[in-house]
Structure 1
Amino acid sequence: MKTAIVPKVSKQKCPAICGLILCMVLMVCNSGCNQKQDTYSNWGIYKADSESSSYSPLDQINKENVSNLALAWVFEPNDSLEGGRPRNSESNPIIIEDVLYTTSARGRLFAVHAGTGKLKWSFDPFDGERGGGIKRGVTYWENGPDKRILFTGGDKLFAIDAATGVPVPTFGNEGKVDLNQGMRGEPDKISVIPTSPGIIFEDLLILGTEVSELYGAEPGHVRAYNVRTGELVWTFHTIPKPGEVGHETWPADAWKYAGGANNWGGLSLDASREMVVFATGSPTYDYYGADRKGMNLFGNSVVAVNAKTGAYIWHFQTVHHDLWDYDLPAPPNLVTVEQNGRKIDAVAQTSKVGFLYVLDRETGESLFPIEERPVPSSDVPGEKAWPTQPFPLKPAPYARQYLDETDIADYSPSSRDSLLQVFRSLRYEGLFTPPSVGGTLQFPGSRGGSSWGGAAFDAHTGLLYVRSNDSPEIMRLKKVEPESTVTDLSVYKQGESIYISYCVSCHGRDRNGDEQGNPSLVGLKGRMSREDVLTKIKQGGGKMPNFSSVISGKAKEEAILAYLFENETKERPGRETSLLKEINSNQGAAPDPQTVDSLPRYLNLTAYGYFRDSKGRPGIKPPWGMLHAIDLNTGEYAWSVRLGNNPELQFGEQETGEAGSAGPTVTAGGLVFIAGTRDNKFRAFDKDTGEKLWEIDLPGFANANPSSYQVDGRQYIVLSVGGNSENTAGSVMAFSLPD
C-alpha cells in the first residue's frame, strides 16, 4: 500500500521517566480471548474496556492538581487534500504498552509513541485515493508475537501488523475482507461501512455496521469474523428470517426488502457469560413504515447474543415501529448495581429520547418499572404507528421530553412571534408524535438525548455520567407519486429533486451539513472536481452509502452536478425513470414487487431540520446541553450541570449549554473529562459534585471521546481534535501534569 502522508509532531514537553512502570498493558489470554483489562492497564479498547465503561483507574491527575493540567504533545496527521475543508476525527485512541493507535479524519491509521507523539508508522486503507469517512476507533488482538490492529476503511476490514503497519497477508485477501460480501444485496451495488470498531472475543472480531437510511437499504446484520483468517463465522440477522425469533413482528417477506435495524454505535462484551450485547438503530425508511407494519424487531433494541455462535439470548425493544429515527446510538454500559442488598449484573443503555434503560444482564428485564403508554396515532395514509411505547419510570429522563409555549425562545418580540407561529402550525402531542404531511415538531429530536459518545460508568460509586441534548426538529412528509417524472424540469431542478429525495436528510435543505459527520456542501465547486464528486456519490464513504443506482445514467449525473455546483441552467435532459423506481432500486435491494411496489412512499423533506428562528438561533430557551450523574443503584440524580456555552446567546452569568455527540470519560482521580462543544473547549468536572475544575481552549472542534493512559509513570489524557483553517487535518492532543 502506498502512503503519501507526512505527519508533523509538535513536542511541547519531554516527559521524564519516573520509577517503575505502574501501568501494565492489556491483559490478554494466550488466544487473545477477551481483552479484559486489569486494574492498572492502559486504555486498550474502544471506550476503555469490553464493558464500554469509559473509566480509567488512574489517579495521578486528580481534583487537587487538575488545574495544572497542560499540553504535553501534539500529533498532526497532515493528511488533508490540498484546498480541503477542516475535518473532524471522532476517534477514541487506544494505547497498547507505549504505542497509541488512532485514525485521522480521512480514515488513515496511525501508530505514535504514547509518551511523545512521535510517529512510528502510518497506513492508508485507500491507497492514495480520497477515501475518508467516520472512524471512532480501532481494535487490538494478540496471540504471542502475533499482534494485530483490526479496523475498517470504507467497506473493507483490514488486519494490520501492530508493530510494522503492514497488512497481514494471511487475513482475507492480502490483509483485507470485503464487508459487502455476505449481505443481501449485490456486493458491487451496496455499501456497508462500519463507523465504530468491533470487539474481540477469543479469535473472533464481532462487528456492527452503518447502512443507508433510505428505502431499499441493506439489513443491519451483526457479524463475527475469524481474526486470523478473515473468514465469516456467524451472522445475526437484525431483521429476522422465517423461523428466527422476531420474524412475526414484520410482514412475512420483509426480510427480503426491509433494511436498517443496524448496530452502528459499537458493542460490549461479557466474556464470562460468553455474551455480546449491542444496541440497534431504526428500520428503514426512518420516517414512514407502511411496508414494515409491526413492532419491527430487532430495530431500536438492546440485544444479547452468544459471542461464539451469534445465537439469540434476549432483547429489549425501546421503540416499537420507529418513525422518528430514534436509534440507540451507543454501546451499552455493562454495569453492576445494588438493589435491596443484592448485587445485580446489568446493562445500562442510553438513548436519543433521553430515557436510560437499566436491564438485568441475565434476562433483559428492566430493573426499574416501565409502563407501556398509549401514544398518538399517525394521520399519514398507509401508516400504522404502534399504539403504545415503553416509558421507564426510573431514572427520570435526562433530556427534556415536552415543550409548551413558555419554552419558546425570546431573543426579540419578532423572533418569538415567528417561532410561535411555526410552533402553533405544527402537529405536536408530546413524545412520539408521528411525522405528518402538514409538519410535526419532534422533541427531543433525532439529535436529542445522547448520541454515539454514550455514557461513562464508575463501578466504585455506581454513578453513570451522560450528556444530554435538547434539539427539537421539524418533520414534514411528502408523498412520492409512482408515475411522477421530472422530465419537464431543468437540469438544475432535476438535481434539486434528487438532492431533496436522497441527500437532504444528512446534508440539510441548506446544504450546510451538521456535526454528526455530514459535511457542508456549500461552496463544493471550489473544493472538489466534478469527477471526485461523482466518485464519492457512486462509491460512498464514511456514513454516506453508495448511490450509484440513484444517479445511473448521464442525465442524472449532470443533474446532481448542476445542483451541487450551483449551475442554474434551463436545459432539460432526456426522459427519466420514475423516482419511485429509483427509490426501490436503491442499494441494490430486490423487493417483491407485489409486496412493496404498490405501497405509497413518503419522504421526510425536512429530516434533521432544526427548529430555529430566521437567524439560525435555537427555537427553545436554554439549556441546550447538559452533563448528568445518575446513581444506578437508586435511579436518582446525583447532579446535573450545563455543558458548554454560546456567549453570543448568553443572558446573565448562566451558561447556555451546547448540544453535542461526544461522550465523557471518568477517572479514579475524581474527574469527568468531556469535549464536543462548539465553543471548542475541553473540560474537567468534579465527579462527585459536578463543579467545573478545569477547561482549556482547543484549536478546533473536538468531536471525540477522551482516553486516559499511563506511560513511563506519567498519566495522560488524550483527545482527537478537529481541524481549522491553518491545519485542516486536525490533531491528536495529549495533556499531562508538568514535571
Structure 2
Amino acid sequence: GSYWQDRFQPIDGGRRLSAVNGDPYQWLAFGNDQGGSRFTTAALITPANADQLEPAWTFRTGEVPPPISAKGSMEFESVPLKVGDNLFICTQNNTVISVDADSGKEVWRTRPPIDFKGSAVRRCRGISYAAVPGGGLCAERLLMGTLDDQLIALDVKTGKLCPGFGKNGAVDLKPGAGRNPAGFRFVSSPPAIVRGVAVVGSFVFDNQTTDSVPGVIRAYDVVTGELRWAWSVMHPKAWPTPKPGESYPRGGPNMWTAPSADEALGLVFIPTGNPSPDYWGGMRSPEQDRYGSSIVALDVATGDVRWHFKTVHHDVWDYDVGSQPVLADLPTGKGTVPAVLAPTKQGDIYVLDRRTGKPLTEVVERAVPQGPPPGDRLAPTQPFSVGFPSFMPAVMKESSMWGATPIDQMLCRISFRKLRYEGHYTPGSEKGAIHDPGANGVFNWGSLSVDKARRIAIVNTSLMAFVDTLIPRRNADAAGMHAYGDQPAKASGPPVKKFSEFSFPFPQMQTPYAIDTSPFLSPLRIPCKRPPWGTIAAIDLDTRKILWEQPFGTSRGQGPLGALSLPIGVFSHGGAVTTLGGVTFIAATIDSHIRAFDTATGRLLWQGSLPAGG
C-alpha cells in the first residue's frame, strides 16, 4: 500500500485557515501559496531542537492499484494539503482521503466514479483548495483532476461531490480532444486557483505520435465548473471552443506539472512541455515550437499570452519545463522587483521579471553542437543562465567515467568512446547519444523552495546522464512498435536493440525514428558518470551566490552498493519545505529517508527512514 508519515509532533491543529494571513499551520496549495514558495512560517522546530523529532503517527492509504501493463507505472507522489484540522491527500487511483492531523485517523474517504480503462500511468501529485462565496455544502471545496480526464469538486468537510459544479460534481475534459485513446491524456498535477478560476493542464503520453492529443490548458469557474477560456499552447490568443466533431489543435505542447499564479497581476505562469514527439522535430511547425519548453504568462481573465520566455530552442532532448515556477521578490539596482524563478531540466535557473518576462539576471546565447539526423534541424544557439547559480552538469570527459571495479570503469570508458557526445545539447544519433542531464532532468516536479525570511532558495538536483538512441523507422516497424492506444502491429523482424535493461523505447510514429532512452549505466547497473548523482544546495537570493552544496542521499538499498551507506548523492524527484524556524525538510531521495537540514549552513540535523523514496 501507500503511506503518509507525520514526523512532527501535533501542533495546534485547531487553527483555522486563511489564504492571506500566512497561518503557519495551514498548507493551502501545492507549493503552500499561489507562488509555489514551499515555505511555512511555522517556527517551533529549529536547528536547536530538530534532533528531538520522533514519529507521531503513521497513516496507510490501503490503496494498491490493480495490475497494469509492464509499460505502465503507478507512483504515490501526492503533496498533502492542510486545511483546518485535517490533511487531504489523493492516491494513485484518485481516491481522496481526509486525515485528522492530530491523531492520524481517517475522517472520510471518497472514491470518485472513475473509469480506469487504459490507465497505464497512474499518479496524482495533489489537489487544490478553494473557498467560495456562501455557506453550506462545498463552501470550501477540493478540486482534483482524474485519470479518466475529469475535473471534480468535493466538499472539504464531508468528501461529497459538489452538486453545483459541472454535472453532479464533475466536468468532463474530453470534449475537443478528438481521437483520444483511454489513458492517453489525464490531469496529473493540481490546478492553480486564482481569481475564481481553476487553471488545468494535463499529462499527455510522450513520444507516441506526431498527431498527439491536444495539450490544451483551460480555466474553469471554481463555483460552477463553467469553461472560462482555453489556450492551445500554440497561439497567442485563447482558442475558441471547438464545435462538435472538431478538436483543439493537436500535436502541440502541454503542461503536465503545476502552474503558479500572481493574484495581484492577474497572471498564471505556465511551464510548458514539448511538441510531440520529444526527440524529433523535423516536421514541427513554427506554431508547435513557439511556446514549447517555455515559461508562459497567461492573462487569467482571457487566457491570452502576456509574455513568454523560451528555455530551449527547438527542443529535441525532452527538456520540457517540469518544475513549478516559483514567485519571489528580488532586490535589483532599480529596487525590489517581482520575479519568477524557473528551474529547468538542464540545470539552469532563469530569473525573470514576472510582469514582463524579461531576464533579471544575465542570460546569454551560446553556440551548441550541430549535425542533426537527416531531416531534422537544430537551433545554432541555446540560452544559458549565467547571472544566477547554475547546476548544469560539467561537460564530461572519458576520465569522468566511474565504476564499482576497474573492469566496470573500463567498460564505461569503452561505451563513452562509442557513443556520440559533444557536450550539452548533443544531437541525436543512431549509435546512441549521451545526454547529460537526461530527460529526468536536474530539476523536476519538486522545483525549489524559497525561505522568505532568510531570502534563501533550497534546491535538490539529480545528475543522471542518459543514452538516447534513434531507431530507424524500418527497424521499429519490423519490431512491431506502435503508438499507445493503437492495435499492436505484427512483428516481422527482431525486437529493437535496447541500451540496457532499464531502457524505455517509444515509437514516435509518423517520424523517421523511434527512440530508446536509458540511464547511462555500467554492466553492474551503476551510473557510468562519476558521483555525486544528486546534491542539495542553498542559494542566497540577494548575492546570487551558492551558500553551500553537498551530496544528497546515500547508496543504502540501491543496487550493488546497497549494503553500504556511501554519501554519494542519489536521484531525487520531490522538493523541499523551508520553515521560519530555519529548518529545511525534504524526503525526495530514492534511499527512502526524510531529512532535516539547517537552512543557513546545510548541517544535517535529523533523519528518519520511510517505507519508500523519491
Matched, 1:219 2:214: yes
CA displacement at 1:601 relative to structure 2: 2.2
Q: Using a 3 Å threshold, how does the CA distance of structure 1 residues 127 and 275 change in structure 2: closer, same or farther?
A: closer
Q: What is the aligned partner in structure 1 of residue 29 from structure 2?
A: 45
Q: Match for 1:49: what amino acid?
A: D
CA contact (8 A) 1:221 1:235 kept: yes
Superposed displacement of residue 650, structure 1? 9.1
Aligned: 1:583 with 2:519:
no
Matching residue within 680, 696, 702 for 2:608: 696
Deviation at 1:362, TM superposition (A): 1.3
Equivalent residue number for residue 712 of structure 1: none
Partner of 2:232: 237
In the alignment, what sits opposite 1:309? Answer: 302
| Number of the residue aligned with 1:718 | none
Report % sequence identity: 30
Amino acid at match of 1:58: A
1:672 positional shift = 0.8
C-alpha contact (below 8 Å) 1:378/1:436 kept by paired residues? no
> Hey, what's the Cα distance between the residues in 2 that align with 1:255 and 1:11?
43
Does 2:392 match 1:383? no
Confirm or deny: 8 A CA contact 2:65 2:92 kept in the other structure.
Answer: no
User: 2:422 aligned with 1:442, yes or no?
Assistant: no
The residue aligned with 1:618 is 527
Residue of 346, 349, 352 corresponding to 1:356: 349
Q: Cα RMSD (Å) of the superposition?
A: 3.2
Instruction: Provide the rounded CA distance (Å) in 1 between the counterparts of 2:383 and 2:24.
Output: 40
Shift of 1:279: 0.8
Corresponding residue SS for 2:123: coil
- After superposition, what is the alpha-carbon deviation per residue over 1:197-253, rounded to whole angstroms, capped at 9, x for unaligned? 001123211111111222221232211011222221101121228x889xxxxxxxx
Structure 2: distance between partners of 1:25 and 1:306: 28
Corresponding residue of 2:407: 414
Counterpart of 2:76 (choices 89, 110, 130) is 89
For the residue of structure 2 that corresponds to 1:421, the secondary structure is helix
Query: Of 265, 277, 285, which residue of structure 2 is paired with 1:273?
Result: 265
Q: 1:171 aligns with which of 165, 169, 179?
A: 165
Provide the residue aligned with 2:514 in structure 1: 603
Distance 2:97 2:416 in 1: 48
Residue 258 (structure 1) shift = 2.5
Amino acid at match of 1:644: G
C-alpha distance in 2 between matches for 1:109 and 1:462: 35
Q: 3-state DSSP class of the match of 1:423?
A: helix
Pick aligned residue for 1:319 from 293, 312, 317: 312
Q: 1:83 to 1:282 in 2, by over 3 A?
A: closer
Q: Distance in 2 between matches of 1:660 and 1:14?
A: 26
Task: Identify the range of structure 1 (80-89 vs 209-218) with the bigger mean alpha-carbon deviation.
Answer: 80-89
Structure-2 separation of matches of 1:661 and 1:357: 20
Task: Give the aligned partner of residue 732 of structure 1.
Answer: none
Aligned to 2:501: none
Q: 1:87: Cα distance to partner?
A: 6.0
The secondary structure found in structure 1 opposite 2:509 is: helix
Secondary structure of the residue that 2:185 maps to in structure 1? coil
Offset of residue 42 of structure 1 = 0.8
Distance 1:448 1:26 in 2: 35
Aligned residue in 1 for 2:421:
428
Counterpart of 1:507?
Answer: none
For residue 485 of structure 1, report the CA deviation from its aligned partner: 5.8
Amino acid of the structure 1 residue aligned with 2:361: F
What letter is aligned with 2:129? Y
Pairwise CA distance, 1:411: 2.2
**1:300-339 CA-partner distances (Å, limit 9, x unpaired):** 0011111121121111000011010001101100001112
Structure number with the higher helix fraction is: 1
How far did residue 112 of structure 1 move?
1.4
Q: Give secondary structure in 1 for the equivalent of 2:547.
A: strand
SS in structure 2 of the partner of residue 205 of structure 1: strand
Greater mean alpha carbon deviation, residues 164-173 or residues 435-444:
164-173
Partner SS for 2:264: helix
Distance 1:233 1:287, change over 3 A: same
Change (3 A) 1:194 1:417: same
Which residue matches 1:730? none
Residue aligning to 2:89: 102
Query: Distance between the aligned counterparts of 2:29 and 2:419, measured in 1?
Result: 45
2:452 is matched with which residue: 459, 476, 479?
A: 459
CA–CA distance in 2 between the matches of 1:471 and 1:660? 10
Looking at structure 2, the residues matched to 255 and 289 of structure 1 have their Cα atoms a distance apart, in angstroms, of: 20
5+ residue gaps, structure 2, are 240-246, 496-505
What corresponds to 1:78 in structure 2?
A: 62
1:107 deviates by: 2.4
Q: Contact between 1:664 and 1:673, CA under 8 Å: does it hold in 2? A: yes
TM-score (norm 1): 0.73
Kept after mapping to 2: 8 A contact 1:220/1:239: no
Match of 2:472 among 472, 479, 488: 479
Kindly indicate whether the alpha-carbon contact (under 8 Å) linking 2:8 and 2:54 is maintained by their aligned counterparts in 1: no
Structure 1 residues 651 and 92: alpha-carbon distance in aligned structure 2, compared to 1, 3 A threshold: closer
Distance 2:181 2:372 in 1: 39
| SS of residue paired to 1:273 | coil
Q: Which amino acid aligns with 2:54?
A: A
Q: Give the number of the structure whose alpha-carbon radius of gyration is greater.
A: 1
Structure 2: distance between partners of 1:83 and 1:432 = 38
Q: 1:278, CA displacement in angstroms? A: 1.7
Distance 1:325 1:39, change over 3 A: same
Structure 2 residue matching 1:157: 3-state secondary structure: strand
Among 221, 243, 256, the residue aligned to 1:264: 256
Q: Is residue 301–residue 315 contact of structure 1 (8 Å, CA) maintained in 2?
A: yes
Shift in Å, 1:16: 8.4
SS at match of 2:44: coil
The structure-2 alpha-carbon separation of the partners of 1:164 and 1:392, relative to structure 1 and needing over 3 Å to count, comes to same
Q: Is the 8 A contact 1:293 1:321 kept in 2?
A: no
Deviations 1:579-601, CA, capped at 9 Å, x for gaps: 99x935xxxxxxxxxxxxxxx52
The alignment partner of 2:157 has SS state of coil
1:139 equivalent in structure 2: 128
Normalised TM-score (structure 2):
0.87
Distance 1:87 1:244 in 2: 33
Between the aligned partners of 1:358 and 1:127, the Cα distance in structure 2 is 40
The Cα shift of 1:135 comes to: 0.6
Structure 1 unaligned blocks of 5 or more: 28-35, 246-253, 487-493, 503-546, 564-578, 585-599, 704-739
Separation of aligned partners in 2, 1:275 and 1:167: 29
Question: In structure 2, how many angstroms separate the alpha carbons of the residues matched to 1:14 and 1:38?
Answer: 20
Taking the aligned partners of 1:372 and 1:270, their CA distance within structure 2 comes to 29
2:437 and 2:5 map into 1 onto residues whose CA distance is 41
Q: Which residue of 1 aligns with 2:503?
A: none
Q: 1:148 to 1:339 in 2, by over 3 A?
A: same
> Which is bigger in relative contact order (C-alpha 8 A, separation at least 6)?
1
Q: Deviations over 1:149-172 (max 9, x none)?
A: 110221111111222111122222
| Candidates 85, 96, 111, aligned match of 1:124 | 111
CA distance in 1, matches of 2:238, 2:30: 31
Specify whether residues 37 and 480 from structure 1 end up closer, same or farther in structure 2 by C-alpha distance, changes over 3 A only. Answer: farther
- The amino acid that maps onto 2:264 is S
